[in-house]
Structure 1
Amino acid sequence: MSGPVSQPAEPGSRSRILRAATAEFARVGLAGARVDRIADDAGINKQRVYAYFGSKAALFDAAVAEGFRQLRADVPIADGPGDLVDYALRLYDFHVGNPALSRLLLWEQLERPLLDSTKRPDHHDGRVADYVKGLGDNDTDDVVRLSLVLVSMAAWPAANRQVVMDVTATDSRSVQDLLEGSMRETVANAARAVIDEWRGRSGARRE
């Protein structure tokens, strides 16, 4: 299937396709997804899905990109050093409340190769710059690695609910309550400890 063909826009049709595609890809991945199911769920002709996006793989990439767009819209960057812990919690709350993005990223790791062309600097670079500013640390490479640790704290529990259930001996119906309650408090405490320790080391390096 060649690239997308220009078609007259139908109000809301692209967003309906992306919503349906996100649900389908999150459930069964790229290989297991069916474009006809996505089209049916979106209430649109299958050929129009191809007209908008060109291929199933391109639609998967668009669904991931839309997930990051929603994350950027819902989770503003930290407002200075004092906001970094709350920023980590906002990321955590987003992933707990929007598990589809985490699932898409897991499928992406399994089914899409690591290519330079798939990098998303438009999303990540701004976030890393915010960590650099918030921590007052000019060692950008070090801060990049720290940001990965904080993002992992925020995203991992929601993306790995089976492991959370196993480790905590929680039943499947109570995992969401755990994530929204005591696990959230634990993430806040861990993020605060990491950031405080980092600030101390950063200050020592500057002296």
Structure 2
Amino acid sequence: MSPRTKEQNDAIREMRMSQIMQAAADIYLEKGIHLEIRDVAMKAELGYGTVYHYYKNKHMLLEDLLWDALARTEEAVAPVLTGEGNSLKRAASFSRLLLKACIQDPSVFILLKTVADNFHHFPGNRFIKLFENFQERIYLPFAGMILEGTGSDASPEKTANQIFGSLVGCAALNIHHNMRHEMDVDGIVSMIFSGIQQKGSFEWLS
């Protein structure tokens, strides 16, 4: 049998990494930070040594999982980040896309929950750069929509925090009770935004 080409090796690596990441996300939803490499290997149906070849410990694996989730999150909300129009409508659309991404991709939910928890369960300061990137690429653009849409002197970050917290809470309730596919995304977002007044108008969400 002839040796595999570089392209074949790269394809195998990509496939295994995808298996590992998906398994890690599923196990994290079950066990949280108590996840172990052995659990991931069993879930991915890969040998322990295979997973260990890529990740020497669970913190390295979770760090990769969260960075990958950041890219997926940014991709999910990109249509709003690059769009134009009414700022609060865009903020509501952003929230819908974010909540739908949580349903479809557990790693996105894990990222949002981890940020909301301020990386409480993770050791050291290894996630400072990830948090800064999340702020720059996801959170601050969203807070900017809130500020522009309300025209209020009140802190847009406070409103953005409350909305993010509500989204994470609703996602957690549905995901951990195995009801993610029953989640009324539009209803949840409409309820959250119903108390936010747009600058100069009260009929903005319809």
Structure 2 residue aligned with 1:166? none
Percent identity, please.
Answer: 12
Task: Structure 2: give runs of 5+ residues left out of the alignment.
Answer: 1-8, 201-206
* Partner of residue 130, structure 1: 141
What is the RMSD computed on CA atoms of the aligned residues?
A: 3.5
AA partner of residue 111 (structure 1) = H
Aligned ranges 1:55-204 → 2 under 5 Å? 55-76=57-78, 77-78=80-81, 79-80=83-84, 81=87, 82-99=89-106, 101-102=108-109, 105=113, 111-113=121-123, 115-119=124-128, 120-134=131-145, 135-136=147-148, 142-161=155-174, 176-177=181-182, 179-180=183-184, 184-194=186-196, 196=198, 199=199
* Structure-2 change in CA distance of 1:25 and 1:118 (3 Å): same
The number of residues matched between the two structures is 178
Q: TM-score, normalised by structure 2?
A: 0.67
2:3 maps to none
Moved more, 132-141 or 62-71: 132-141
Alpha-carbon distance in structure 2 between the residues aligned to 1:124 and 1:63: 18
CA distance in 1, matches of 2:40, 2:189: 36
State the Cα distance separating 1:109 from its structure 2 match: 5.2
Structure 1 residues 16-25 or 123-132, which shifts more? 123-132
Which ranges of 4 or more aligned residues in structure 1 deviate by more than 4 Å? Answer: 106-110, 137-141, 172-176
1:154-190 deviations in Å (ceiling 9; x for gaps): 2211113499xxxxxxxx676753x226xx3242243
- TM-score when normalising by structure 1: 0.67
**Per-residue deviation at 1:25?**
1.8
Code of the residue aligned with 1:143 in structure 2: it is: P
Structure 2: distance between partners of 1:46 and 1:193 = 50
Q: Which of the two has greater helix per residue? A: 1
